[in-house]
Amino acid sequence: MKKMMILAMMMVMTISANAMSYNAAKNEALFLSDKMAYELNLTDAQYDAVYEINLDYMMSVDSRADVFGTWWNRRNMDLQYVLTAWQYNKYVALDYFYRPMTWNAGGWTFNIYAHYTNRNHFYKARPTVFISYKGGNNRKADRFYADRHVAKPAPKAPVAKPAPAPAAKPNNNATWRNTGSNRPTTSANANGHSNANRQIAQNSNKTSHFGGRR
């Protein structure tokens, strides 16, 4: 475990405590922005803006006090305008994004390299402003990126919940089994007499015949 910690610290890049050159700053901003685009699922417009914001921050840091000073606060404010709520919350939760530079042993340390150790791997192509942007948006109006209306991903549509199944209704047409004795079924005829009563009447009119003489 100790060897792994030492190796991770060796992977973290540290430079002397002075202002970075434009070329050094844009390369560091590119690596950081690429990983933010990957983990935060940035659109192309967000990727361009995030690169500009990271470059401005790195070019503005001149002393230890600047690491978490005015320019760091300006970076966070600009990113709030550019990112969606869930993207910004995730950005704050990941320290290697939220605090990309720290002071260590008399120089700047780039914390991203402790998490992404392969410095030659990129997930996206360079942002479209990589060559053209020279810095300075963070020295303009505070609402520069708010007024720029950077395109953001559409919010996810809520998942519709299935309707509850209707409650089972009692079956009013159920057939009941006759558990009584076997009785003839009676049905009324057109005169209102049952067939069973008519059969009884017919039987009573019959006379019995006995054999023999009178």
Residue 144 lies in a domain: yes
For residue range 115-158, list pLDDT tens digits in order. 999 999 999 999 999 999 999 999 999 899 999 989 898 876 66
Domain hosting residue 140, numbered range: 2-148
Residue 104 lies in a domain: yes
Say whether 175 sits in a helix, a strand or coil.
Answer: coil
Residue 169 lies in a domain: no
Rounded Cα gap, residues 129 and 47, in angstroms: 10
Q: What is the pLDDT of residue 210?
A: 42
Q: What is the pLDDT of residue 195?
A: 52
Q: What is the pLDDT of residue 18?
A: 62
Tally of domains within the chain: 1
Calculate the average pLDDT of the chain.
Answer: 79
Ranges of the chain whose pLDDT falls below 50: 2-16, 176, 178-179, 181, 184-188, 190-193, 200-201, 204, 206-214
Residue 18 lies in a domain: yes
- Rounded to 5 degrees, φ, ψ at 109 are -110, 130
Residue 157 lies in a domain: no
Q: Where are the alpha helices (DSSP H) in the chain?
A: 2-11, 22-40, 44-60, 70-82, 85-93, 95-98, 112-115, 144-148, 195-204
Q: Distance of CA 11 to CAs 5, 99, 153, Å?
A: 10, 17, 34
Residue 96 lies in a domain: yes
Identity of the residue numbered 74: R
Residue 39 lies in a domain: yes
Q: What is the pLDDT of residue 144?
A: 94
Q: What is the pLDDT of residue 168?
A: 67
Q: What is the pLDDT of residue 154?
A: 81
Q: What is the pLDDT of residue 12?
A: 45
